[in-house]
Every structure is written in structure tokens, then in C-alpha cells.
Amino acid sequence: MKILLAYRCQYGGRNDFYTRQMPVGLGTINAVLRDAGFDSRLANFSRFTWSQVESALREIRPRILGISLFTFNRGAALKIAQVARKMDPSVFVVVGGPHATHLAERVLAHHPAVDAVAIGEGEETLLELARALSLGRDRGSIPGLALRRPGGSFRTPPRAPLADLDRIPHPSAHYESIGVDRFAQFEFLITSRGCPARCTFCSTPKFWGTRLRYRSADHVLDELRFLQERFGLVSVSFRDDTFTVDKKRTLFLCRKIVDSGLHLLWDCQSRVNAVDEERLIWMRRAGCQHIQYGVESGSKAVLHQLNKGIHLEQVIQACELTRKVGMDLSVYLITGVQGETAEDVQATLRLIRRVRPHDGIVSPLVVYPGTALYEDVKRLKGVDDSFWDSSRSEGLLVRDDPDSILAYRQVDAALKEAAATGLYSLDERREHKRVVGRFVAPTLSSGEALEEWGKPGEAEAEYREILEIHPGSLWGHLRLGNLAEMGGDAVRAAEHYRQAIGAVPRYHLAHSLLGSALRRLEKHEEAGDEFRIALRLYPGDRIACRGLSLLRRDRRPKTSRVPSLRRKPSTGLTASLAWPSFLQHPIPDGQPRPPGAESAGQ
């Protein structure tokens, strides 16, 4: 029995790196199914045309089709269900995710292509459903489902949250898939479920619960090691709602990462009342480069209205400590809260200038089913749940008046100004090393800063220090190789890149950079071999693609720089000078578009 677990992002999200990635939960469900012996695979249809979606469904012909249904992608997700039903009336379609969970009865009532809704976390529910369908057993006794019945629908008894997250196999070990960029997808890890906060704009408390459940440090470390050895991943993003809440666990995990010898840089997100200097120091020692805090506002009144459970003093202290240890600092902010005044906005602007984030994201307040604000905002806007059937909007926007638009522009501009002026100085980088100690991450950042300031000799000393701290370090050899290549010494560059490959043999960039150095040495056959290895490991390696093209044209090589591994965090909202693009063109895929809209293969 074939099972397909599918995702497709909304119409405007296919070109956003983050939005077009599959949710991590589909990977864990797939891992559980495959571990139990089912023929399950993943499909990311975000960049497929609808004709390609149809072809894939026709070729696979799944008996069970599971679809991730969020509010923002509901049009695309439900169209997949319709296409599958039209092609094969016998396919069993089950949807899951926040939107499906919180509006299960409505989804079943208004979308006949859907047979069932998985409520909440879906690993055990989908496994039991697959077993029942394969054996022809009744589905009505499976906990955690909403099912059809004559005249309506019903919910089976609720499923208790999975207590032991270590029982879930690593998703990356079971990744039979189509349309999935494995290298990009595997960067995102979740090590816990639940969040102790009760922010009124967030659906996590109702979906995952407020009691935190954790994977053990050994289980997390085992996955990190597997990802590096099997796929060459050296940079990951922990997408836990609040990564650092449990101090003892955070410190233990960070110490395990340091002791593991892995060549790893990472980022995470957390709350300002869930960090302190000791936690941040050990996170930095373990390779944390970047942390994002949900700050939301500089106004006490707005924070109270959003039920953030934090104080401005905690925001300031957390941001100051983050800068003290040398991590890149990001903040998430919200404008357009009902009752927000000009003074509230000014308070946020003052806070931005005070804490000096390196980047940040501002979003107008948009609510979704399952959030505490949802019922209040429906009454305020005079709508009910039918809004999601008739509207093309990705969310329920609280305010769209001129004052709220002005607030958005002001905060967005302030974040851009802070990013331009909040960069660390060389003196600050030296102080970071003193505070954190002699570890790879702060030393690497110091060397990169010295390069940016035009001090290659001093940068080289920092990178050689990395090799003293961690002999054979991928990062030390990559940066020393790049410095040598920039200085015209391709022989020494190639040697460093070979050492980098020795550290992480499946890291595609080390192979493509070695190819670049060999091309400079006119060892074209060897260079081509390295470029091809890089592309086998990661077909999207641009240096390797370019290198092969240059080899074919027999042109002189140009220096390749090691690209930055840092990315700005994304909520899937693409900022513009006036307003986020999803509010300018809020068209979920699968729904009608205005005349003249680009078809993009639809």
C-alpha cells in the first residue's frame, strides 16, 4: 500500500526559501510510517506546475494521501485533494496541520475530497490509520481523527500527546521523496514540542500544548551526527518554539555538541525570559551564530494585550547579553494591534534603537484559527469561519487603516537602520572571545570580521588558532584555503580544501572550492571530478555549476569566496516599502487570480 505525504505552499511563497520548504512534521510522520514497514514517501509540490502534480499522483497512485493544511496554503492543499480525488476516487485523503485541526468539521463539511482530519500531532494517528486501511478495519476507534458520517462528521477520542519523542525516528534516515531539496530541508530540526507561553496571537498552545516535551540530548546529537556524516550538513536551524526554556537541558546539549567534535554552526529562536549569560555563553561555545527573540513590541500596554508574559527589562537584558557573547541578534515585532497608539509605536522604535538588532522581521497582526485572539477578531471584523472559504487572504488581518500601515513602515525602517549601524566592531569581536573563551565560533567570527576590515594577516592568525582549538576543523581549513586562493596561492588553497574534505567528506562546498583551486592550477580533469562530486552531493551548488561551465569554455578561473551560511529568518512574509506582499496580493494557490496575474505554469 503506497502512502504519499504532500505539501504545497501558497501562490506567492514558491520563491521564498523558507515558505516553500515542507513542514518538519511531515518528515517525522514519514519516518514513523517507513520504520513500521509502509511504502511511504514525501512530495513537496511547491515548485511544481499543476500538470506536474497530476503526473506525480498518476505515477505513484497512493492508497493514502496525507496533506499538510495550514491557513496560508489552504487553497493549494485542498486543490491537491481535489486533483487526487478526480484521478482516483478510491484514494483516502487525510489532511493535518493547524488549520485542519482547528476547523476540522468545517473542512470535512465543505471539502468532499477530504476523507479525514488528523487532529494535532499526527505520527501515531497516521500509523494506526495506515494499519486500519491496510487490514480493512474500522477507523472510528482510532484516537485523534475527525471523520465523516451520514449527515455530518464526528471526532474520535482525543489522542494523548506523544510522551517520548525519542521514539520518533530521524526524518533524514527515511527520506524517499519527490520535489524535496534534501540539503535545505534537513537544515531544520525540532528538538521539543510545546511552549509554556500563552501569547494570544499564537496557535501553539492549542496545537502542541503548553507542557514542554523534549527529545533527549543524545537523540538530538545522534541526528546531528547522522546529518553530517550522511549528507555533509554543517549548519542547522533549531525551530523549537522556545529552544532554551529548560536551562539544564540547554547547557547539557551544548556541552555535548562541544565534546562531539562535530563541525557545526547553528541558530535558534527563544524568549527573552528564557536566556541568561551562562546559557548564551555555552550556546556560543557550541556554535550558535544567531538567535531570534519574539519581542513583538516596545510598549508595555501592547505586550500585556498580546499576553507575552515578558517585561521590557528582560528584552533589554537578553539583547545586551546576546550582543555580549557575539551572536547575531534578531527580533520579531508586531504592529497593527487593536488600540495601538502612536506612542506605542514610538516605544517600539526607542526599543529598537536601544537593543540594536542585526536584523528583524515586522508583521502586521494577523490571526489564525486556534489562536486566543481568533474569536475576538472575528467579532471585531464581523466574520465567521466561512471567511476562509470566501476570502483569498492568508490570514485575518486585524487592522488595515492608515495609522497601522504607517506603523509598519516606521518599524520596518527602524529595523533596517539598526541593521546598518549595529554591526560588531573589531574591539567587540575581541571582547566576545574574552567572554566566551577559546572556542571555534567566536574565533571564526573574529577572523571573518578582520577579513571584512581588510586585515587578512590577522584573520589568518585567527583561523590558525581555530586549528589549535579544534585540530582538523572544517572552518579553519575552509577560511585558510579561501585566504590562500585570494592571495594567489592555489597550491596551498587546494591543500586546505583537501583537509576540509577530510573533516566532512560529504560537504559539497569543500569539493567545489577544491575544484576552483585545481582549476586555477590548470588541473582541469581533477577540477571537473571535484565539481561533479559537489553536484552529486548537492545539485544546487552554484560554484560547481559555474566551475564546470568555465571548464567547458576553457576560461581562466576566478577566485571563489566562501558564501555566508547565515540567513535572515523568515516568517514567509516578504516585506515591501508599503506593506507585506501577501497583503498586497493575498492569493492562495488553487483559487482564482485577478486578470493579468502571472500564471507561473498554473
> Residue 181 has what pLDDT?
87
Q: Measured between alpha carbons, how far is residue 385 from residues 86, 145, 159, 211, 396 in Å? A: 26, 20, 25, 28, 11
Enter the CATH code of domain 429-553: 1.25.40.10
Contacts of 443 (CB under 8 A, 6+ apart): 433, 462, 463, 465, 466, 469
At 508-520, the pLDDT tens digits run 999 999 999 999 9
Rounded Cα–Cα distance for residues 201 and 451 (Å): 42
User: At which residue does the C-alpha cell 496554503 appear?
Assistant: 73
Q: What is the mean pLDDT of the chain?
A: 91
Enter the CATH code of domain 187-421: 3.20.20.70
Pull the grid cell for residue 208: 502542541
What angle in degrees, to the nearest 10, is found between the helix axes of 247-260 and 217-231? 30
Rounded Cα–Cα distance for residues 460 and 399 (Å): 52
42 forms beta bridges with: 5, 177
Q: What is the CA radius of gyration of the chain?
A: 25
Q: Are 394 and 366 in contact (CB under 8 A)?
A: yes
Pull the grid cell for residue 442: 567566536
Using the predicted structure, report yes or no on whether residue 316 has a pLDDT greater than 50.
Answer: yes
> Residue 555 has what pLDDT?
56
User: At which residue does the C-alpha cell 556541552 appear?
Assistant: 255
Q: Which of 27, 318, 387, 404 is nearest to 190 (CA)?
A: 27
User: At which residue does the C-alpha cell 581562466 appear?
Assistant: 556
Q: Name the strands in the sheet holding 288-296, side by side, starting at the edge strand that comes first in the sequence.
A: 188-189, 235-238, 265-270, 288-296, 328-335, 359-364
Q: Where are the alpha helices (DSSP H) in 74-167?
A: 74-87, 98-102, 104-110, 123-135
At residue 86 the predicted structure's pLDDT band, cuts being 50, 70 and 90, is very high
Rounded mean pLDDT, 354-380: 95
Using the predicted structure, report yes or no on whether residue 430 has a pLDDT greater than 60.
Answer: yes
For residue 75, how many C-alpha atoms fall within 13 Å in the half-sphere facing its CB?
A: 23
Q: Are 207 and 370 in contact (CB under 8 A)?
A: yes
Q: Are 170 and 220 in contact (CB under 8 A)?
A: no
> Residue 586 has what pLDDT?
30
At 2-35, the pLDDT tens digits run 999 999 998 778 788 888 899 999 999 999 999 9
Q: Are 98 and 126 in contact (CB under 8 A)?
A: no
The two most distant CA atoms of the chain are separated, in Å, by 77
At 440-482, the pLDDT tens digits run 999 999 999 999 999 999 999 999 999 999 999 999 999 999 9
Rounded mean pLDDT, 407-413: 97
> Residue 578 has what pLDDT?
35
Rounded Cα–Cα distance for residues 278 and 252 (Å): 12
Using the predicted structure, report yes or no on whether residue 568 has a pLDDT greater than 60.
Answer: no
Using the predicted structure, report yes or no on whether residue 571 has a pLDDT greater than 70.
Answer: no
> Residue 562 has what pLDDT?
61
Percentage of residues of the chain with pLDDT beyond 70: 92
User: At which residue does the C-alpha cell 548537492 appear?
Assistant: 538
Q: Does domain 2-155 have CATH number 3.30.70.980?
A: no
Q: Which of 19, 11, 3 is nearest to 571 (CA)?
A: 19
- The domain ranges of the chain are 2-155, 187-421, 429-553
- Strand ranges (E), 222-312: 235-238, 265-270, 288-296
In this structure, of 259-268, 333-342, 391-400, the range with the lowest mean pLDDT score is: 391-400
Rounded mean pLDDT, 256-264: 97
pTM of the model: 0.89
Pull the grid cell for residue 424: 560588531
At 151-184, the pLDDT tens digits run 889 999 999 999 999 999 999 988 779 999 888 8
Rounded Cα–Cα distance for residues 566 and 568 (Å): 7
Using the predicted structure, report yes or no on whether residue 569 has a pLDDT greater than 90.
Answer: no
> Residue 558 has what pLDDT?
56
Rounded Cα–Cα distance for residues 488 and 54 (Å): 52
Pull the grid cell for residue 198: 500563552
Return the SS3 of 395: coil
Angle at 380 (CA atoms; ends 377, 382), nearest 5 degrees: 105
At 582-597, the pLDDT tens digits run 333 332 333 333 333 3
Q: Which helix (H) or strand (E) holds 152?
A: strand 152-155
At residue 556 the predicted structure's pLDDT band, cuts being 50, 70 and 90, is low
Q: Are 527 and 515 in contact (CB under 8 A)?
A: yes
Pull the grid cell for residue 601: 505554469
At 512-548, the pLDDT tens digits run 999 999 999 999 999 999 999 999 999 989 999 999 9
